[in-house]
A and B are shown apart, each in its own frame.
Chain A
Amino acid sequence: MKLISCYIESFGGLSGYKKQFNTEFDAFFQRNGTGKTTLSAFILAMLYGMDSLRTTDKGLKDRARYLPWGGGKYGGSLTLESKGKLYRIERTFDSKSETKDALTVYDLQSGEKILPSSSPGEYFLGIPKESFLATACFTGKEQGSILGMMPRISSYVEGINDTDFYDKALSALLKASKNYSKRNSGSIDKCKDEIKKCTADKNRCISASALAEDYQKKLADNEKKQKPIADRMVFLSKHAGLLEQKRQLETHKEQVAEAKGRLDSFIEQHGASFPSDEQIARFDRKALNIDAQRKQAERSVEDEALENALIEEQKLYGKLQEKQFEDVSNDADALRKVNADLKRISDPGKSAEYDALHQRFAKDLPSEGEIHMLRSMENGMKAKEIAEEQLSKEREKRSTSMKKLGTGVLIAGVLLLLCAIVLFFVMTVLGVVAVAIALVLLVIGAVVLNQAKGATKANAAPDYLKEQKMIEDRLLSLGYKVNDRSLFLSRLYDDRKRYLELKEELKKASVEADELLKTQQELVSKLDSFFAPYPLPSCEYEKKLTTLKSQYLQYLQNVKTVQNRSAERTNAAKEAGRMQIELRTALLCYLKEQHEEASEEVLLKTVKQYAKDFTELSKEYISRKADLEKYEKSVDLSAISEAEPPREGEWEELNSTLEELKKSAADDRLALENALEIAEGLAEAEDELLALEEKLEQECDRLRILELTSSLLEDTHNELVNKYTEPVRSAYEEYALQIDPALCEGLKVMPSDMSLQFERNGELRKSDNFNSAFVVLSNVCMRLAILKVAYPEECPFLVLDDPFVYLDDENCKKALEALKKLSSDTQILYFTCHSGRTI
């Protein structure tokens, strides 16, 4: 791409500025402040625009810096050639914001507008502003950088655009590999350690298993050694046993002989005939019966008491007869009857009634006639009373009407008086008259009322009242409280009559009572004398009689009882005697010795004892004999003679040896158990080992793959990079040789960032390590080389703003000459303010 011309409308200090560019080497010498930098800034602005101003900007930005000093349209145009075509960029800038900038790109051949999606610089050059500044546009003050050029280079060389991920990818692969391969802490080494441990475990299990087998063999040998010793010991104990058995046999024989001797001795002494147990039981029963009979024949304490009591009873009841009871019963009945009669006669009710009446009438008994008179008077009084009542009513009536009249007259009088008083003031005369009349009326009214009052008063004492009083007095004198005269008069009559009746009755009763009392006394006396001797409770005679009867019956019963008991005793004694003789006879048969004097108890006891002794002795003998026979059968003493007799102390020796062997066996058994326990883990250990070995194999394989992957990836990347580092290096050399061959000595282009390093004294050194001139020149050559490689077909123009300030004249000359040569391929815009640094 080449710049053809530009027109600056207004841009910084330049205004209405035109320039035609030399398409090869355009050296632009201007003193300071004349617009060199402004021109290069204009070119940059036309291609890439300018950033908007922000309030946070620090320092002066280009947009502000290059505001037209004299005003005018901020902008201009730039004509360029790219790939054989002419284009014009027309651009105006806003004073502040790029969004307000205006941009138009024309295809000058077709006349059409081009609307690039990016800035014209990117559109035509294919690189961003930073990359442009870093390569195609530089000053001697700045170091170049090819980093931004890498995509361009890559895409041009091989079209590769993912090399950015390479570092991370490789790092990840290496990190993953390290996880496996790291010494000691990596998973492979860990796995190997575990395998070692597991193998050791397995070997331990196998060893334990082998050890277990050894112990088993040892135990088997031990058992083999123990057997003869144990057998010999068994034999020895057997031998001792046999001897013991022999001794036991002799003992048994002796015992049998002794038992026989005792039995024979007994038989000799007491004979061999003794009653059986059954017979002895019969004898016992008989003896018991004899005792029982004897006891029965004895007078017991109860018998004695009964007899004694009977004697006393006899004294009391001995003379009593049945007939006496009958007589006494009759007497008691008679007495009861007499008492009943007496009771009947002395009716307390009647007596009390008679006493009350007697008290009333004893001193003053009114005659029948008197009572009749009083009753007549009463009747007459009643009639009078009624008439009096009627009269009284009439009188009352009259009084009431008189009262009314009197009251009316009084009221009239009062009214008239009032009127009169009023009239008196109107008409004195009339008033006086009225007053007089009122007074008269008042008097009349008072009189009438007075009369009415008097009329109600009855006669103070009507006649019949006297009679009434008389009757009442009479009743009172007889002790009657008078409320109703008629009633009490009637009662008086009845009471009198009753009094007289009672009096008569009582009189009769009194006579009868005397007789009855007499009879009563006689009967009581009789009964008392009958019952007196007997111990009877105080009660009625009937009860006494009953009690006595029962006592008598009891007495008779007791007599019978005593008699029966006596008979029983006699019989029992007889029976006892008989049985005794029987028993004695029977027992004496069994006794050899003479025992006539002994009692049957003694005889029985003796017989029993002898029988028992005989039985025991016989049993003992039989038992001993049976034991002997049994023992003789159970032992085989013939073995004694075959046996090798034991030595002295042989048993202890053997026992000690056996104990040692057993102890050793116990220890071995324990060890065997432990070994077996460990050996049991063999299957598990093998399982684990298999698993670990597979895991190790897997991890080694994974590591292998990781290493392969990282190696191949690295190789691929290096190959790719080497594909364009070589052209860059080659191009650099081409340029550098033209300036100074020293610039190529020991040259190495780093593929990662395309930086330059030079080998000096066996060491690679960066270009910064060299002098300024070297740095600048190598930088220039590098940029040129990159541009050449990045733009193989059409290299963009170069803008060099006094790049050789740090070079001495000789180097500067060389550099300029090199630039001149290069300009045949690349348009170079060279700005300088040094006159000596132009071509």
Chain B
Amino acid sequence: MKLIHCADLHLASALDSRLSKEKARLRRRELLDTFERLAERAREENVAAVLISGDIFDEEKISVSAKNHFLKIVALYPEVDFLCLSGNHDRSLSEEGNLPENLKTFEDQWTKYSYGEVDIYGIEQTNENCALLYDSLFTDNSKVNLVMLHGQTIDSRSEPAVDTVILPMLKNKNIDYLALGHIHSYKQGRLDERGVYCYSGCLEGRGYDETGKKGFVMLDISGNTVRSTFVPFAKRMIHNITVDVSGLEDGFDVEKKVLAHLALLENDDLVRVELTGSVGSKAQIYPEDLEKKLKERFFHARVKNNTTLKIDPEEYREEMSLKGAFIRKVLASDLSEEDQARVIRQGLRALSGEEVEEH
């Protein structure tokens, strides 16, 4: 039997990637499209059920159109069950009316759905039940047991709380696979001798803090064995690339180096480039221009200039000029290193008659 484990869809959410209005709209649409592709994939693979471990939506108040779209997709694939757990960002779908028959929700008590020899348990965590849920979980040892939860794993025994999953308290409960949601990157670890816990990660990255491959986990259950495979599935990948431009003075050279670093990336992706390293005071680095150029190639791009100014205070100790005096003054001030670099860079540009505006 096959199952799909995914989580943190965050449909119709705000995107933390500073996209333009149109691109943000498109990206939100893509979140829904990816979910639909997942449903189609589930049908193609004869998946019995799709386990969604929380945060299907992004707000307590679900966007109606997003909700309707989601429900329509679910209804379009009646041969696949969708087991939906709520997360810290959305409320339970069980409160909604007119749900498709193949959409299964959970309650604030353990709810079980059986598929032959496979039992799937889930519970909506509340302040009232978060302390009791670990002790109230009873599973059948002879069956393959999957448990769905949403929250941050904690390795040590501590006070239970909503949105936390205390792993030690789930050991030895005949759990073969703990399908978790909340962390937006794929991560798997051993729960106990019998089972594993796994964060499937989100289906699509939404901001530059969600880089790397995103997708779902395909579970292949045969007999008592649960074999899990991560399947990258996102339409677009988000990258954070650091490029050391030390020693480069010319904007063209900087651009060339950056592009070389990005050569292997797909044009559909989102890229944030962080320029690092130490550059001279005369360095011609214009992040906005570079960003504009990258936007022509990628779906979206951002460039952040985190280079430090290469100034040897000793060099300017003896320099008898306004410039030298200025640099000495700045270096002697109590400004942060970054501010010092920026002030010096700007001051020198001003004294050279160049554009003083930072980009």
User: Which segment, of B34-42, B256-264, B326-334, faces chain A?
Assistant: B326-334
A232 to B331, CA, bound (A): 87
Report the bound CA distance from A705 to B349 in whole Å: 13
Q: Is residue A706 contacting chain B, with contact meaning CB distance below 8 A? A: yes
Show 8 A/B contacts (Cβ-Cβ < 8 Å), sorted by A: A160-B320, A160-B321, A165-B351, A172-B350, A679-B64, A682-B63, A687-B19, A709-B346
- Which has the most chain B C-beta neighbours within 10 Å: A170, A683, A684? A683
Q: Does B353 contact A (CB under 8 A)?
A: yes
Question: Are A683 and B326 neighbours in the complex by a CB distance under 8 Å?
Answer: no
Contacting residues, chain A, for B244 (C-beta < 8 A): none
Point out the residues of chain B lying under 8 angstroms from A713, CB to CB: 322, 326, 347, 350-351
The reply to whether B61 and A709 form a contact with Cβ atoms under 8 Å apart is no
Q: Is B358 an interface residue (CB 8 A)?
A: yes
- Report the bound CA distance from A452 to B342 in whole Å: 161
The contact of B65 among A680, A705, A715, by CB within 8 Å, is A680
CA distance A712 to B323 in the complex (A): 11
CB distance from B21 to the nearest CB of A (A): 6
> B356 near A683 (CB under 8 angstroms)?
no
Q: Which 7 A-B pairs have the closest CB atoms?
A: A159-B320, A169-B350, A686-B14, A716-B326, A709-B346, A169-B351, A209-B61
Looking at A161, A702, A708, A715, which has the most chain B CB atoms within 10 Å of its CB? Answer: A708
Closest chain A residue to B352 by CB distance? A165
Question: Which one, A160, A683, A694, A708, contacts B14 given CB within 8 A?
Answer: A683
Q: Does A166 contact B (CB under 8 A)?
A: yes
Q: Is the CB of B64 within 8 A of A166?
A: no
Q: Which A residues touch B21, using CB under 8 A?
A: 684, 687-688
Residues of B within 8 A of A (CB): 12-16, 18-19, 21, 24-25, 28, 58-59, 61, 63-65, 320-323, 325-326, 329-330, 333, 335, 339, 342-343, 346-347, 350-353, 356-358
Residue from the list A169, A680, A709 in contact with B63, Cβ < 8 A = A680
Q: Which B residues are CB-close (under 8 A) to A687?
A: 14-15, 19, 21, 24
Q: Is the CB of A680 within 8 A of B346?
A: no
CB distance from B62 to the nearest CB of A (A): 10
- Knowing A176-B357, A691-B18 are in contact, say whether A170-B350 is a contact too (CB < 8 A): yes
A165 to B321, CA, bound (A): 11
Beyond A161-B321, A679-B63, A682-B59, is A172–B356 a contact (Cβ under 8 Å)?
Answer: yes
B88 to chain A, nearest CB (A): 17
Mark contacts of A664-694 with chain B using CB atoms, 8 A cut-off: 1 yes-contact digit, 0 otherwise. Answer: 0000000000001001101110111011001
B65 cross-chain contacts in A, Cβ below 8 A: 676, 680
B286 nearest CB across to chain A (Å): 14
Residue picked from A676, A688, A709, most chain B C-beta under 10 Å:
A709
Neighbouring A residues of B352 by C-beta, 8 Å: 165
* A213: Cβ under 8 A from any B Cβ: yes
Having A159-B320, A680-B63, one finds 17 other A-B pairs with CB under 8 Å, namely A160-B320, A160-B325, A165-B351, A166-B351, A168-B353, A173-B356, A209-B61, A679-B63, A683-B14, A686-B14, A687-B21, A706-B346, A708-B339, A709-B343, A709-B356, A715-B329, A717-B322
Question: Beta-carbon contacts of A201-223 to B below 8 Å, as 1s and 0s?
Answer: 00000000100110000000000
How distant is A64 from chain B, measured CB to nearest CB, in Å? 42
- Please encode chain A, from 693 to 736, with 1 for each CB lying within 8 Å of some chain B CB and 0 for all others: 01000000010011011001101110110000000000000000
**A716→B325 contact, CB < 8 A:** yes
A767 interfacial contact with B, CB 8 Å: no
Contact between B14 and A162, CB atoms less than 8 A apart:
no
> From B25, which residue of chain A is reached at the shortest CB distance?
A684
Once the chains bind, are B320 and A176 in contact (CB under 8 Å)?
no
A753: CB under 8 A from chain B?
no
B residues within 8 A CB of A168? 350, 353
Q: Which residue of B lies closest to A206 (CB)?
A: B61
Known A165-B351, A680-B65; contact A705-B358, beta-carbon cutoff 8 A: yes
Q: How far is the CB of A101 from chain B (nearest CB, A)?
A: 36
> Nearest-CB distance from B98 to chain A (Å)?
13
Interface positions of A from 340 to 393, Cβ below 8 Å from B: none
Chain B residues, CB < 8 A from A179: 357
Task: Provide the residues of chain A in CB contact with B15, threshold 8 Å.
Answer: 683, 687
In the complex, which residues of chain B have a beta carbon less than 8 angstroms from the beta carbon of A684?
A: 14, 21, 24-25
The answer to whether A166 touches B322, judged by C-beta atoms less than 8 angstroms apart, is: yes
Q: How far is the CB of B342 from chain A (nearest CB, A)?
A: 5
Is there an interface contact between B322 and A165, defined as CB atoms closer than 8 Å?
yes
Q: Tell me, in angstroms, the Cα distance from A754 to B325 when the chains sit together.
A: 20
- A327 is an interface residue with CB less than 8 A from chain B: no
Contact A162 B351 (CB under 8 A): yes
A528 on the B face (CB < 8 A) = no
A163 touches B (CB below 8 Å): yes
A683-B28 contact given A209-B61, A712-B329, A716-B325, CB 8 Å threshold:
yes
Assign chain A's interface to a size class.
35 or more
B126 to chain A, nearest CB (A): 21
Which residues of chain B are near A708, meaning CB under 8 Å?
Answer: 335, 339, 343
Whether a CB of chain B sits under 8 angstroms from the CB of A158 is: yes
A719 to B, closest residue via Cβ: B325
Query: Cβ of B346 and Cβ of A683 under 8 Å apart?
Result: no
Report the minimum CB–CB distance from A206 to chain B (whole Å): 8
Question: In angstroms, how far is the closest chain A Cβ from the Cβ of B270?
Answer: 14
In the bound assembly, the distance between CA atoms of A309 and B333 in angstroms comes to: 152
Determine if B346 and A705 form an interchain contact, defined as CB atoms under 8 angstroms apart.
yes
Q: Report A-chain residues with C-beta under 8 Å of the C-beta of B326.
A: 712-713, 716
Task: Give every chain A residue within 8 A of B325 (Cβ-Cβ).
Answer: 158, 160, 716, 719-720
A468 to chain B, nearest CB (A): 135
Chain B residues with Cβ under 8 A from A163's Cβ? 322
Residues of A close to B12: CB separation below 8 A: 683
Interface flags, A640-682, vs B, CB<8A=1, else 0: 0000000000000000000000000000000000001001101
Q: Shortest CB–CB separation between residue A665 and chain B, in angstroms?
A: 16
**A686 partner residues in chain B, CB cutoff 8 A:** 14
The CA-CA distance from A179 to B320 in the complex, in Å, is 32
Q: Which residues of B contact A688 (CB under 8 A)?
A: 21
Which A-chain residue is minimally distant from B24 (CB atoms)? A687
**Which residues on the B side are within 8 Å of A173 (C-beta)?**
346-347, 350, 356
Given A682-B59, A682-B63, answer yes or no on A709-B350 (Cβ-Cβ < 8 Å). Answer: yes
Cβ-defined contact, A709 with B347, below 8 A: yes
Contact B322 A720 (CB under 8 A): yes
**How distant is the Cα of A683 from the Cα of B65 in the complex, in angstroms?**
12
B159 to A: closest C-beta gap in Å: 33
Least Cβ distance of A124 to chain B in Å? 23
B64 CB contacts on chain A under 8 angstroms:
212, 676, 679-680
Chain B residue with Cβ nearest A675 = B64
Distance (Å) between the CB of A166 and the closest chain B CB? 6
**Bound CA span A676–B322, Å:** 62
Complex: how many Å from CA A676 to CA B14?
A: 17
Neighbouring A residues of B61 by C-beta, 8 Å: 209, 213, 679, 682
C-alpha spacing A687/B353, complex, angstroms:
38
Chain A residues with Cβ below 8 Å from B320 are 155, 158-161
Shortest distance in angstroms between B301's beta carbon and chain A's nearest beta carbon? 15
| Contact of A683 (CB < 8 Å), options: B13, B18, B350, B357 | B13
CA distance A712 to B331 in the complex (A): 11
Q: What's the minimum C-beta distance from A162 to chain B, rounded to whole angstroms?
A: 5
User: A170 CA to B357 CA in the complex, in Å?
Assistant: 13
- Whole-angstrom distance between the alpha carbons of A166 and B351 in the complex? 6
Q: Which residues of chain A are within 8 angstroms of B59 by Cβ–Cβ distance?
A: 682
How distant is the Cα of A173 from the Cα of B356 in the complex, in angstroms?
7
Q: Which residues of A contact B25 (CB under 8 A)?
A: 684
Residue ID in chain A nearest B64 by CB atoms: A676
Q: How far is the CB of A629 from chain B (nearest CB, A)?
A: 41
Known: A160-B325, A712-B343. A176 touches B356 (CB 8 A): yes
Contact B329 A716 (CB under 8 A): yes
Instruction: Give every chain B residue within 8 A of A683 (Cβ-Cβ).
Output: 12-15, 24, 28, 58, 63
Q: Please report which residues of chain A, range 553-598, place their CB below 8 angstroms from some CB of chain B when the two chains form the complex.
A: none
Give the distance to chain B from A672, nearest Cβ to Cβ, in Å.
9
A162 to B325, CA, bound (A): 11
CA of A709 to CA of B351 in the docked complex: distance in angstroms? Answer: 11
